[in-house]
Amino acid sequence: MPAIGDLERRWSALAALACGVLVGCSQHSPPPPSATVAPPFAKSSSDEFDHDDPCSLLDPKEVEAALGAPLAAPPYRSANGTVDPTPTGDSCIYETAKFRYISLDVTFKGGAQVYSMSAGMMKNLLKSGGGNAQIANNVKKNFKLDDGTDMSGEWDEASLMPMNCCIFLGLRGDQLINLDFTASPATLRQAATLVDSAYKRIDHPLKIDGGAGVTAAKALDKTRPKPVAVCSLLTRGEVEAILGPLKADPSASGHSGCQYDLPAKRAIPLRRSTSRSTGAAATPDGAPITMWEASAWQRSTRT
């Protein structure tokens, strides 16, 4: 039978061991080394992050590869089809220091109805030819990849926005992903790849907080070039050297146009281009033309 002193020492040792176990269980284990590395972009600090955040579906590095340049700010949320930073916006903007950007918009519920309104126009155009076989042929051609193959991905249906080169729509079930790469050097293949990646993550999104990127985006926005008056881009002399004498000084036409009035002839409006091309002028019916074409057009109206 052990002596009383031995029993006391054993009980003391057991008590110390039990205490150590309890203390160990009450403390969190240190995170793995990879979890302590600071993320390159704003991530949610809580497990209660917004699962409907459009910025949580793409790895910024994927988008940088398509943009051909690093992002100047973390991915940030915007609203109403603009690049204005909005903490709860339904779009995510990926923007470079030169203000090239890709916009990702996600409709988590009700996407089928939205898609039917936009892509339905495309389907009708393809079926009818839109009254012009060349239009239908161009639509089909533009929706193929560079190697001539059809696009495929995680979507059920996909289409380009009608009458637009660079807005990709992908529908799966009732979810719709809209990727606008108009203001970027990205190709159609790269856009399709990004939409495919977004669908693969839609059920298990990344913990990237697009709302947290708004502050940095607002700072970047302050460096954005300010709009200038369109009529200030060309002097009257430069215009007259091509079009001939003007009836009056150039006048503003809305916020994005400049009107050049010609004596006893139809006026030629100059409008800021919103497409990838930078055509400088337009005929009265809105068809974009270059300044040299404008000169030829003007000569033709004199005959």
- Please report whether residue 185 resides in a domain: yes
Domain housing 211: 54-221
- Please report whether residue 176 resides in a domain: yes
- Please report whether residue 242 resides in a domain: yes
At residue 282 the predicted structure's pLDDT band, cuts being 50, 70 and 90, is: very low
What's the pLDDT at 271? 57
What's the pLDDT at 64? 98
Cα of 85 vs its chain's centroid, Å? 13
Q: Amino acid identity, residue 218?
A: K
DSSP labels, 171-237: EETTEEEEEE-TTS---HHHHHHHHHHHHHHTTS---B-TGGGHHHHHHHHTTSPPP--GGGSS-HH
281 and 205, same domain (yes or no): no
Tens-place pLDDT, residues 52-109: 899 999 999 999 999 999 999 999 999 988 999 999 999 999 999 999 999 999 999 9
> Which letter, b or e, does each residue of 190-200 get, where b requires 16 or more Cβ atoms within 10 Å of its Cβ?
bbbbbbbbbbe
66 and 157, same domain (yes or no): yes
Tens-place pLDDT, residues 245-271: 999 999 998 888 999 999 875 555 655
CB distance 93 to 220 below 8 Å? no
Instruction: Give the separation between CA 151 and CA 176, rounded to whole angstroms.
Output: 17
82 and 202, same domain (yes or no): yes
242 and 207, same domain (yes or no): no
Q: Amino acid identity, residue 85?
A: P
Give percent above pLDDT 70 in the chain: 60
Q: Given 156, 189, 221, which residue is the final one in a domain?
A: 221
249 and 131, same domain (yes or no): no
205 and 142, same domain (yes or no): yes
175 and 298, same domain (yes or no): no
R_g of the chain computed on alpha carbons: 30
Q: Given 167, 186, 221, which residue is the final one in a domain?
A: 221
Give percent above pLDDT 90 in the chain: 48
What's the pLDDT at 41? 52
- Please report whether residue 48 resides in a domain: no
Identify the bridge partners of residue 270 per DSSP, sorted by sequence position: 258
Instruction: Give the separation between CA 155 and CA 106, rounded to whole angstroms.
Output: 13
Domain count, the chain: 2
98 and 134, same domain (yes or no): yes
184 and 278, same domain (yes or no): no
The two three-digit tokens of residue 261, written as one number? 């009035």
What's the pLDDT at 127? 56
The two three-digit tokens of residue 233, written as one number? 């881009």
Whether the per-residue pLDDT at 47 is higher than 70: the answer is: no
What's the pLDDT at 89? 93
Identify the bridge partners of residue 58 per DSSP, sorted by sequence position: none
What's the pLDDT at 103? 97
Mean pLDDT of the chain: 74
Pairing of strands 251-252, 281-282: unpaired
Whether the per-residue pLDDT at 119 is higher than 80: the answer is: no
What's the pLDDT at 227? 87
What's the pLDDT at 46? 45
69 and 203, same domain (yes or no): yes
- Please report whether residue 132 resides in a domain: yes
φ/ψ of 3, rounded to 5, equals -70, 160
146 and 196, same domain (yes or no): yes
- Please report whether residue 113 resides in a domain: yes
Q: Given 221, 255, 270, which residue is the final one in a domain?
A: 221
Instruction: Give the separation between CA 156 and CA 149, rounded to whole angstroms.
Output: 17
- Please report whether residue 216 resides in a domain: yes
CB distance 190 to 66 below 8 Å? yes
Pairing of strands 251-252, 101-107: unpaired
- Please report whether residue 68 resides in a domain: yes
215 and 235, same domain (yes or no): no
The two three-digit tokens of residue 7, written as one number? 């029993």
The HSE-up count of residue 118 (CA atoms within 13 Å, CB side) is 20
